Chain A
Amino acid sequence: MTIHTPKIRSWCIASVLTVVALCAPFAVAQQQVPSRVDVSWNQYYDYDEMTQIIHELVEAYPELLTLESLGKSEQGREMWLITLNSPKTGEASEKPAMYIDGNVHGNEIQAAETVLYSIWYLTKSYGQVEQLTELIDRVSFYFLPMQNPDGRAEWFANPNTPHSARTGQRPTDNDFDGLLDEDGPEDLDGDGHITTMWKFDPNGRYRRNEIDPRIIERAPEGAKGELSRLGSEGIDNDGDGRINEDGPGGYDMNRNWASDWQPSSIQYGAGDYPFDRPETNAVAQFILEHPNIAAGQSYHNTGGMLLRGPGASYLENLYPRADRLVYNQLGEAGEDLLPYYDYMVIHADLYTVHGGFVNWLAEGLGIVSFTNELWTNRRIMPDPDRKFTTEERMHWQDRMLFGQTFTDYTQYDHPTHGKVLIGGGTKYSSRVTPPFMLEEGCHRNFAFTMFHAANMPELEFKWIGIEQLDTQLWEITIEIENTKIIPTRLTLAAQKKIGLPDLLTLKGAKVVLSGTLSDRFDRSLTPIEHRPERVLVEKGIGSKGISTFRFLVEGAKGERVTLSYKAQKARDIEIEFPLKETELDPSSK
């Protein structure tokens, strides 16, 4: 069912449509909800184009979006950070927030489109789509589409491979010859891509495939080869006998974060110390200044994975069981929403990462965080679960992508290797989602991220019981509920004393005693020994959990008292009521 609507602005129409939508639970088509900014989601945008769209969105949705630059990249590009918040329901900093970024690896371009899509979809949905409107009214978002602006700009502007421009663009001496970035690749055949070079070699072990000469394959046993692999396209600029060994940059900004940071001798690309790059430092300072961030997502490519920490096997036990259950609930929901994606643990299922970004969020700051590895090449095949031969894959890409991701081999006279063949997959040939499938990838990942965001903690006073023990003595029993999957404090945060404990206070009457109970029927409380009007709750309120507290206060009947519960990663709650024998059920009103 599709309802075609022109520009919808009024709440009234929106709610009518919502009702219609609710009446048709089996509809599979989305409501058509137009955006004030037209964006095509079947194409990619370079740094400048994306900057343009970001500005258009911020101008079109001033009631929700604010734009700032966290600082300048190595080459002086602005690092755009978009805050999405509905001021009607409070400041962004008062609400639990989700931080979402992408493209820390310059070549992993669809990560930025996925972040941008999220902004685009949320803004157009506000006031139109009930679920998302509720979400936007409850939480805030910080979006950084391009964490590595220089890498992205480089990847689009210049000939590259699917894997190059992963790094930032600070000149670096990768081959320890005292020179910086002096031997990068060259587009020798002038086709706009860095592809592969093969050398004619009578003793080579490779040959061209007899049926499809675009495929270079290992010569079978007994057959004669004619080619040897030289590597990526380029010359030996510095005359050291090696080709392309010191190209632009040459480090990994996803190994530059403070938790389990290890030096370059142990972790390639780590930098000299955590946050020694302007890009990572800008992000780190922003995140440290926003303790309300309760959830994190950092989009990468490729492989179809929902990854969580830890990044090293020796940290496996750092994640307490209760926290792993939180991750599992979110990760498993993600597997449902993202066919062909697997929920995995970085060190166990992928590889060892020291100083990774989501590791810092999770292990350093107690933020429940994932890295989604966008896109898997299997998805282009008719049956992604079956293994396909290279020939079949080439054939299918020919039919689907019309051969666009391949440049045919041509002969080239190389200055040091003589006659060589240059050709192969272009920079779009792997890792990057084919444009016609981009929007689906954006949307499915967005849907998972919204599930993640919607499960940031939300607190309510579930039940309050007031009993009069004596003329002036009252016993107030309080249940506080977190209705979401993510606890106000991860167990890791409580163990390592990360951030501040939650704080429950009672004002308006003299507090004689306070403490915690196992539940509202528990008669004996575990008392708070000092300053009973102020209960510090190190463990927070757990995943879909209820915590019970009790105060004994002195006061006259009818005197008004105020209870407040503060948590860094949830919205604070407060309630005022008079002292009289009653039961309050604030959550059901």
Chain B
Amino acid sequence: MARYFPKSVYATAILTAFFPIGHALASDDGYMNNQELADAMSLIADSSDQAWVETIGESLDGQPIELMVLAGSKEAADLRPAMLITAGLDGRYLVGTEMAIRMASLILDEHADLLDSMTIYIIPRVNPDGAARNLESLTMGYAGNARSTDDDRDRAMGEDGPEDINSDGLITMMRRLNPPIEDPPTHLADPDDPRLNIKPDVKDGQRASFTLYTEGIDNDGDGQINEDGFGLVDLDQNFMHRWPEHAPHAGRYPLSEPESLAIARFVLDHDHIVMALTLGRHDNLVNLPESKSKDITGRAPKGIDAKDVELYKHAGELFKEATGQKSAPKEDIAGSFHAWLYAQRGIPSFATTVWARPEIEKSEDETESAVDESEGEETETADDNSGLTPSGIGDISQETIDELMEAYVAATGEAVDQSMIAMVTPEMVEGFAAQAGIKIRRIVEPEPEPAEDEKKDEKKDKKKKKSDDAKWLEYFEQAQINGFVDWTPFDHPTLGPVEIGGFIPLSRINPPADLLEGLAEEQTAFVVELMASRPQISIVGPEIKQLADGLYEVRIALVNEGKMPTSTAYSQTSKSIRPAIIRLATNLDNILAGQRISRVWGIDANAGRSEHRWIIRSDDINNETIEIIDPRFGNQTIQIGN
């Protein structure tokens, strides 16, 4: 079982996660490196007494993880409900950081009144080490942090990374032309646009002519190219909700990384966060998140609870109105930060990729394909099939083959003739499995980063709909963006003749820098609207009714006038976060009806109410008090008589 990356689409799909970044994103071209970001934060903080910077942690390479607080005053910061804006978990998504820092500036300049009612926490770059590598070396696409790992598990760390073998300053792809028998061709150039790689439609007479690799050489001579180059943990797979244990970059345990631990601790220590926006790899604003299925325990939602759909529709509408964004990639949210905020911290948690390729033409094709994407690209199958090993027999997992072989050995007492395995077809496996009563577990290819060549190629419609890659090329040309390197021949030291070229993938994640200002205005407009629909608690009452001499009925109601709930509907039923406490400050013996302490697990949006009623004996009803201890909206003591 030494097949870490079979020579297939699967392999390239994983490897292309390490695609390079384009020239367009160098820090002198408008994207901030860590120092520039720190300077920008200082500048903002120095210009306002409603903004300051704190350090909440340190990255593996010793970079500070910084937090910018926007608040009415230092004293008020902890007392008001808060919004958390987080960016830069994935080192490649530099655009989120650019948005976060501009939002701070725009809010202070134009919407400072918001800070009278809310505090805003901004963590612009959770993963400074990943960003640094992407910005400083120009060539790499680092998603994760600086954790060194032995990706190919050969007892050598990071010994086979990519090389810029044609010295163009970029790591792109290689087409191995005329591959030998041991390396069967997998792709061909798209007849409609030979710059693109597609998988052959063999029934239509197409034949593969080359294999695809990322640019580099097989440094450790194990037959795999660039399979152990980076070492990293993907921070956005390192959180507790549906943590994908044993996935290659999910970390050794949840919050194993200083960066993910720092932001988790920050959230755990700040109970007053009532909404969150994460700028990065995921989106739940353009596309409504999954709301119909449960996770592996059957008790927590995979995405969101059905009762929270209205909340997400509301936020999604605000977002689309503010930004005009119409499409967004769907990425697996297992182990992500924003999914944890929702599922385990009860926080209405929104996520956006900020930028998506603008639609160039409004054809029926594209509308269709948008629908197609939302249905077909669902990747939420990780729980059952994650971590399965490809067997080389169709999409059937090695685990299933092993089970079958065990069953065979158990039934016959004979070992399985290994040479037989080579002749087995997926159909035969299905037959054997039916006989043995074994459930077939199939490989679901992990969804890689957005807009990967192969993935899209696979989905390329038979009706010759324009592929996603083709649309990117078209967009790059129209917008005159340098996002693609034309294929040029090169004599590879071990692979022989190759062509080097293809997409500069970070250019499909991060927009040209001149778009950043405009995007930031749109994103800020959304944040302002979201904050305007924040939960707002007003207290109605107390109302007192005298029932007899010294006997009173007391009623009070907490009403949420906002368009968002105080916490998610799911957290109200799972009781997973600290409730607000209503305490009647009188002796238990004097309470004839009602609870001395009651707990409010959340109040729905749009005039949702939490009502409380007591019947008490009192010599001096006007001096009785009700205490409200609310981790989100602050504490107060109400004297009944006033």
Q: State the A residues within 8 Å of B (CB).
A: 173, 176-178, 236, 239-241, 258-266, 272-275, 284, 288, 312, 314, 317, 320-322, 354, 363-364, 416, 491, 494-498, 500-501, 503, 518, 524, 526, 528-531, 534, 536, 538-539
A177–B597 contact, CB under 8 A?
Answer: yes
A288–B252 contact, CB under 8 A?
Answer: yes
A496–B629 contact, CB under 8 A?
Answer: no
B463 within 8 A of A: no
Report Cα–Cα, A529/B183, bound state, in Å. Answer: 12
Which of B222, B246, B264, B576 touches A531 (beta carbons < 8 Å)? B222
CB distance from B636 to the nearest CB of A (A): 14
B344 within 8 A of A: yes
A530–B222 contact, CB under 8 A?
Answer: yes
B406 proximity list for chain A (CB < 8 A): 320-322
B480 within 8 A of A: no
A266–B222 contact, CB under 8 A?
Answer: no
The total of chain B residues at the interface (CB under 8 A) is 60
B423 within 8 A of A: no
Contact pattern, B 230-268, Cβ under 8 Å of A = 1, otherwise 0: 000000000010010110100011110000000010001
Which of B255, B410, B439 touches A273 (beta carbons < 8 Å)? B255
Q: State the B residues within 8 Å of A (CB).
A: 1-2, 4, 150, 153-155, 182, 218, 220-223, 240, 243, 245-246, 248, 252-255, 264, 268, 296-300, 343-344, 387-389, 398-399, 402-403, 406-407, 410, 415, 417-419, 439, 574-576, 578-579, 581, 583, 587-588, 595-597, 599, 629
CB distance from A118 to the nearest CB of B (A): 28
14 interchain pairs, CB-CB under 8 A: A176-B579, A239-B596, A241-B595, A258-B252, A261-B240, A262-B297, A266-B297, A314-B297, A317-B439, A321-B406, A495-B389, A495-B402, A501-B2, A529-B223
CB distance from A512 to the nearest CB of B (A): 15
B153–A500 contact, CB under 8 A?
Answer: yes
A259 proximity list for chain B (CB < 8 A): 245
A364–B253 contact, CB under 8 A?
Answer: yes
**Nearest 8 A-B pairs (CB), nearest first?**
A538-B1, A258-B253, A530-B223, A265-B574, A265-B576, A321-B406, A496-B246, A263-B344
B296 proximity list for chain A (CB < 8 A): 314
Chain B minimum-CB-distance residue to A522: B418
Report Cα–Cα, A259/B1, bound state, in Å. Answer: 24
A501 proximity list for chain B (CB < 8 A): 1-2, 153
CB distance from B293 to the nearest CB of A (A): 14
Beyond A265-B574, A529-B223, whether A500 also contacts B150 by CB under 8 A is yes
Chain A minimum-CB-distance residue to B587: A239
B240 proximity list for chain A (CB < 8 A): 261, 263, 273-274
Chain B minimum-CB-distance residue to A524: B419
Report Cα–Cα, A320/B405, bound state, in Å. Answer: 11
Chain A minimum-CB-distance residue to B573: A265
Known: A266-B574, A497-B387. 15 other contacts (CB 8 A): A176-B578, A258-B252, A258-B253, A260-B245, A265-B300, A265-B344, A274-B254, A321-B407, A321-B410, A364-B253, A495-B399, A501-B2, A503-B155, A531-B220, A536-B2
A176–B599 contact, CB under 8 A?
Answer: yes
Beyond A239-B587, A495-B398, A495-B402, whether A263 also contacts B268 by CB under 8 A is no
B596 proximity list for chain A (CB < 8 A): 239-241
A416 proximity list for chain B (CB < 8 A): 588
Report Cα–Cα, A121/B298, bound state, in Å. Answer: 47
Beyond A265-B574, A288-B252, whether A494 also contacts B264 by CB under 8 A is no
Report Cα–Cα, A266/B571, bound state, in Å. Answer: 12
B155 proximity list for chain A (CB < 8 A): 500, 503
B344 proximity list for chain A (CB < 8 A): 263, 265
Which of A173, A498, A518, A529 touches B246 (beta carbons < 8 Å)? A498
Report Cα–Cα, A454/B419, bound state, in Å. Answer: 36
A497–B153 contact, CB under 8 A?
Answer: yes
Report Cα–Cα, A390/B448, bound state, in Å. Answer: 63
B398–A526 contact, CB under 8 A?
Answer: no
CB distance from B624 to the nearest CB of A (A): 15
Which of B268, B297, B417, B597 touches A272 (beta carbons < 8 Å)? B268
Report Cα–Cα, A241/B472, bound state, in Å. Answer: 66
Report Cα–Cα, A176/B419, bound state, in Å. Answer: 63
Which of A178, A263, A284 touches B253 (beta carbons < 8 Å)? A284
CB distance from B475 to the nearest CB of A (A): 38
Report Cα–Cα, A354/B583, bound state, in Å. Answer: 34
Report Cα–Cα, A531/B220, bound state, in Å. Answer: 9
Chain B minimum-CB-distance residue to A416: B588
Chain A minimum-CB-distance residue to B220: A531
Chain A minimum-CB-distance residue to B154: A536
Chain A minimum-CB-distance residue to B439: A317
B246–A273 contact, CB under 8 A?
Answer: no
Report Cα–Cα, A233/B599, bound state, in Å. Answer: 26
CB distance from B392 to the nearest CB of A (A): 13
B253 proximity list for chain A (CB < 8 A): 258, 274-275, 284, 364
Chain B minimum-CB-distance residue to A236: B588
A177 proximity list for chain B (CB < 8 A): 581, 583, 597, 599
B403–A178 contact, CB under 8 A?
Answer: no
CB distance from A358 to the nearest CB of B (A): 16
B579–A491 contact, CB under 8 A?
Answer: no
Report Cα–Cα, A538/B1, bound state, in Å. Answer: 5
B595 proximity list for chain A (CB < 8 A): 240-241
CB distance from A321 to the nearest CB of B (A): 4
Chain A minimum-CB-distance residue to B589: A416
A530–B221 contact, CB under 8 A?
Answer: yes
Chain B minimum-CB-distance residue to A272: B268
B222 proximity list for chain A (CB < 8 A): 530-531
Report Cα–Cα, A385/B64, bound state, in Å. Answer: 64
A263 proximity list for chain B (CB < 8 A): 240, 300, 343-344, 576
B583 proximity list for chain A (CB < 8 A): 177
Chain B minimum-CB-distance residue to A498: B246
Report Cα–Cα, A500/B576, bound state, in Å. Answer: 38
CB distance from A503 to the nearest CB of B (A): 7
Report Cα–Cα, A534/B221, bound state, in Å. Answer: 11
A530 proximity list for chain B (CB < 8 A): 218, 221-223
Report Cα–Cα, A526/B421, bound state, in Å. Answer: 12
CB distance from B182 to the nearest CB of A (A): 7
